[in-house]
Amino acid sequence: MDKAVLIIPRIMESHIDEALALAETAGYRIVWTTRTRHPRRVGRGLVEEVASRASEYGVEAVIFYGDIQPSSRFLLMKATRARVLDRVMLILEIFARHAGSREAKLQIEMARIRHEIPMVRELIRRSKMGEYPGFLGPGGYAVDSYYRHLTKRLARIRRELEELRRVRGQRFRSRSRSGMAHVSIIGYASAGKTSLFNRITGESKPVGPEYFTTLHPKHKAVNVRGSRIAFVDTVGFIRDVPPEVIEAFYSTLEEITMSDAAIFVIDSSEPVSYIREKLTAGLETLAKIGAHGLPIILAANKVDLVPPGELKNRIKLIEGLARDLSQGSIESIIPVSARTGQGINILLEAVVEVAGSAPKAGRPVW
């Protein structure tokens, strides 16, 4: 594992566990952490402090857990001589480590370039001011030509992706003619999607407390009360995913838009404010990927962790949230435990009701 220091803006403080989990998943061991008041900027004093810690610990990377301004990133790069990553780059690094298909690789490269462009513009600006000669060669010329190279590369990737998507669309149409309903298991990272998928299908796919345990959709068809249904395990949602990362999620999230229904898994043992935030993030992502009108069954998972005396109240609260946030797309709310098996039969009944019997001729949602 590479060593890294973590800078966390105060507004992200409550998400520090998420920051550490993502850093670890991306292959970094955090050796020192510091806070900053400003959400996007790092002051000169902090840059110096980070630089001295970075050399003391011999770190390979500096992680800013937020959306860093190009000028601050530039200062940190210059002072520490380490890689400087923000939250988006961290997420993209995780994806890049696992990207299997040509399409996934291209999408991640595209997201990286789009994310990198503002930084390159900043370099152009600075080298034209004579502030940073020698970056990629003398004067601004090399940076300019690097910029042109990036924009050309983007255009090529776009063309290739369009072609790949066209082919995949054809494959999907032939699949929907096969007459089987598809149900996606969706939800925030670590909600228990894979645990539920394993419980329903009898599979033993890897599960774990870290983020993005699942990075590729997994399918398995099983018979449920006389209906043949393919369940699809998906990548976890994560809050505040910027548009350029959403694109990189696409190949997996598109599976969701092609489904007949979705099981939205939440961790009902978490504080209600987290549940609200994660439900919101998930519903927003669904809207962004164009999954309009997809029938949703909410699986209130991990009820084994809720004290029995509180369960009734807890489910009521979740029902209230779902009503407020979902605008009717949530059809029912079923308390379950993927661990103990509690509620799974009731969940499957709800699934058959929504997606069972005859498939809905490949609901084209885009």
Ligand X SMILES: Nc1nc2c(ncn2[C@@H]2O[C@H](COP(=O)(O)OP(=O)(O)OP(=O)(O)O)[C@@H](O)[C@H]2O)c(=O)[nH]1
Residues 6+ apart with CB under 8 A from 33: 5, 6, 7, 8, 16
338 binds, among ligand X, Mg ion, none (CB under 5 to 8 A by kind): ligand X
Q: How many residues bind Mg ion (CB under 5 A)?
A: 4
State the sign of the Cα–Cα–Cα–Cα dihedral 99, 101, 103, 105. Answer: positive
Give me the amino acid identity at 347: L
Helix, strand, coil distribution of the chain in percent, nearest 5: 50, 20, 30
Query: Residue with structure tokens 């149409």?
Result: 173
Can you tell me which of 207, 221, 317, 325 binds ligand X, judged by CB under 6 A? 207
d(CA 248, CA 229): 27
Give the x-and-dash track for 148-187 against ligand X (CB under 6 A).
Answer: ---------------------------------------x
Query: Residue 36's beta-bridge partner residues?
Result: 9
Contact 40/66 with Cβ under 8 angstroms?
yes
Can you tell me which of 339, 343, 352, 365 binds ligand X, judged by CB under 6 A? 339
d(CA 317, CA 275): 10
Question: In terms of CB distance, is 7 or 298 closer to ligand X?
Answer: 298
Give the x-and-dash track for 180-199 against ligand X (CB under 6 A).
Answer: -------x-xxxxxxx----
Tell the smallest beta-carbon distance from residue 87 to ligand X (Å): 17
Contact 92/245 with Cβ under 8 angstroms?
yes
Contact between 98 and ligand X by CB under 6 A: the answer reads no
Tell the smallest beta-carbon distance from residue 206 to Mg ion (Å): 8
- Region near Mg ion per CB under 5 A, out of 103-111, 211-219, 301-309, 358-366: 211-219
Contact between 213 and Mg ion by CB under 5 A: the answer reads yes
- Burial degree of 18 (CB within 10 A; 0-12, 13-18, 19+): middle
**Nearest CA to 286 among 319, 253, 260, 259?**
253
Tell the smallest beta-carbon distance from residue 278 to ligand X (Å): 11
Question: In terms of CB distance, is 124 or 207 closer to Mg ion?
Answer: 207
Chain-centre distance for alpha carbon 56:
33
Question: Alpha carbon of 234 to those of 27, 186, 229, 264: distances in Å?
Answer: 22, 6, 16, 11
| Subset of 278-337 contacting ligand X (CB under 6 A) | 301-302, 304-305, 337
234 binds, among Mg ion, ligand X, none (CB under 5 to 8 A by kind): none
Give the x-and-dash track for 218-257 against ligand X (CB under 6 A).
Answer: ------------------x---------------------
Contact between 211 and ligand X by CB under 6 A: the answer reads yes
Q: How far apart are the first and last CA of the chain?
A: 41
Question: In terms of CB distance, is 38 or 218 closer to Mg ion?
Answer: 218
Question: In terms of CB distance, is 107 or 195 closer to ligand X?
Answer: 195
Give the H/E segment covering residue 161.
helix 141-176
Footprint of Mg ion (CB under 5 A): 193-194, 213-214
Footprint of ligand X (CB under 6 A): 187, 189-195, 207-209, 211-214, 236, 301-302, 304-305, 337-339
